[in-house]
């Protein structure tokens, strides 16, 4: 999902943003936790560069981001750092806190974050710099992040993008496996999604332009919600907007839905990636956070989200258990 105006607005997360006061309090507490260096500065980077230093890791306030931030924290603790955790749900505050070093590290998404920074640096409407090609998107992101005093570490293979599901019976009846199949069928479909889908290039306009899919109506049920899945299952809509982490998530199978393959690569490369304030970065931090990249998959991410959202497990417990199972702790 690569709409730079909605970096944290369309994934699986609480919809409400924190108030400005609450967010500022969280950031102030995070800054205080970082302490001061011996020269009298308050940079967390100066503190973190020494043995036993303190780092602040933030999440964006939704399940997936919390799990990743807890993984980062556990890996950094293993590397010898004391880690403070905070949550910043507002995009502008999250970006500002990274650039100022109030937050040292945070999980982001390659394509979405590249387009966000591109818009901030070059002004809106800026042309998209992201694409379905991970390396091209990553190259653009690293260049832009460097101009903001940030370093982009290694992305995981885990990716969280828009995905589109149909009922299993609908797929069987019309022999659908891919979005191209749906476009070629000539069928007109109702699309269960959020109202913003009507204008976002990776939703209805993209389905129509890239695949020739005829969308007759948007049924306003939200992104990847139980209401979206129920609407498709019950036939109130034929197509539903979910997420790629649902492609292997039992919640889709339980609803008797199947995800159609994005075979023409409409969606951009939104792989999960650690963003670190450059002043805070050390080889130990890079090694600790990069160790997750070759391990974390989209399927893993779907299962981890489910443990928190459906089984009500704590993000920190889920994160630590996963890292232990993978031999990273």
Q: How confident is the model at residue 253 (pLDDT cuts 50, 70, 90)?
A: low
**CATH code: domain of residue 219:** 3.40.190.120
pLDDT single digits (tens) 203-241:
999 999 999 999 999 999 988 888 999 999 999 999 999
pTM of this structure = 0.77
- 305 with 205, same domain? no
- 212 with 228, same domain? yes
User: Which of 206, 232, 260 marks a domain boundary?
Assistant: 260
- 153 with 70, same domain? yes
- 126 with 253, same domain? no
- 186 with 152, same domain? no
Largest CA distance in the chain: 71
The mean-pLDDT minimum among 26-35, 161-170, 172-181 falls in: 26-35
Structure letter (DSSP) for residue 271: B
- 49 with 155, same domain? yes
User: What ranges make up the beta strands (E) of 157-235?
Assistant: 162-167, 188-193, 214-220
> Pick from 197, 190, 5: which is nearest to 91 by CA?
5
- 37 with 133, same domain? yes
At 225, list the tokens. 């919600």
- 256 with 274, same domain? no
pLDDT of residue 222: 87
Residues near 255 by beta carbon (within 8 Å), at least 6 away in sequence? 229, 230, 232, 233
pLDDT of residue 97: 95
- 296 with 169, same domain? no
Beta-strand relationship, 257-260 and 188-193: unpaired
Helices within 13-167 (DSSP H only): 20-34, 44-48, 63-78, 91-99, 110-122, 134-146
**CATH code: domain of residue 31:** 3.40.190.10
User: Which of 260, 280, 309 marks a domain boundary?
Assistant: 260
- 235 with 302, same domain? no
pLDDT of residue 252: 73
- 252 with 290, same domain? no
Give every strand in the sheet of 150-152, ordered side by side: 82-87, 54-59, 105-109, 272-277, 150-152
- 176 with 133, same domain? no
Domains: count for the chain? 2
Burial degree of 35 (CB within 10 A; 0-12, 13-18, 19+): middle
For residue 12, give its domain range. Answer: 4-159+269-325
> Hey, is 85 helix, strand or coil?
strand
* Whole-angstrom distance, CA of residue 71 vs CA of residue 325: 13
């Amino acid at each position: 999902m690569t709409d730079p105006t909605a970096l944290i607005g369309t994934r699986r997360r609480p919809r409400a943003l924190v108030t400005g006061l609450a967010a500022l309090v969280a950031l102030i507490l995070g800054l205080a936790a970082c302490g001061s260096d011996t020269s009298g500065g308050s940079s967390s980077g100066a503190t973190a560069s020494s043995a036993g230093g303190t780092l602040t890791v933030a999440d964006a306030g939704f399940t997936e981001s919390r799990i990743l931030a807890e993984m980062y924290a556990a890996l950094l603790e293993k590397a010898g750092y004391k880690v403070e955790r905070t949550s910043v749900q507002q995009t502008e505050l999250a970006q500002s806190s990274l650039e100022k070093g109030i937050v040292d590290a945070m999980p982001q998404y390659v394509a979405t974050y590249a387009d966000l920074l591109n818009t901030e640096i070059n002004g809106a409407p800026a042309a998209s710099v992201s694409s379905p090609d991970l390396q091209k998107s990553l190259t653009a992101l690293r260049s832009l992040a460097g101009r903001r005093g940030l370093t982009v570490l290694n992305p995981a293979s885990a990716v969280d993008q828009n995905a589109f599901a149909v009922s299993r019976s609908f797929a069987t009846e019309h022999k659908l496996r891919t979005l191209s199949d749906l476009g070629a069928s000539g069928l007109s479909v109702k699309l269960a999604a959020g109202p913003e889908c009507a204008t976002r290039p990776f939703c209805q306009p993209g389905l129509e332009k890239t695949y020739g899919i005829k969308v007759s109506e948007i049924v306003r049920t939200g992104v990847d919600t139980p209401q979206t899945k129920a609407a498709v299952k019950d036939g109130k809509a034929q197509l539903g907007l979910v997420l790629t982490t649902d492609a292997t998530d039992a919640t889709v199978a339980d609803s008797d839905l199947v995800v159609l393959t994005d075979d023409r690569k409409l969606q951009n490369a939104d792989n999960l990636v650690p963003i670190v304030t450059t002043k805070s970065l050390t080889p130990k931090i890079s090694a600790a956070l990069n160790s997750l990249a070759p391990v974390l998959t989209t399927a893993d991410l779907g299962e981890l989200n489910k443990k928190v959202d459906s089984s009500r497990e704590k993000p920190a417990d889920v994160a630590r258990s996963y890292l232990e199972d993978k031999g990273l702790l």
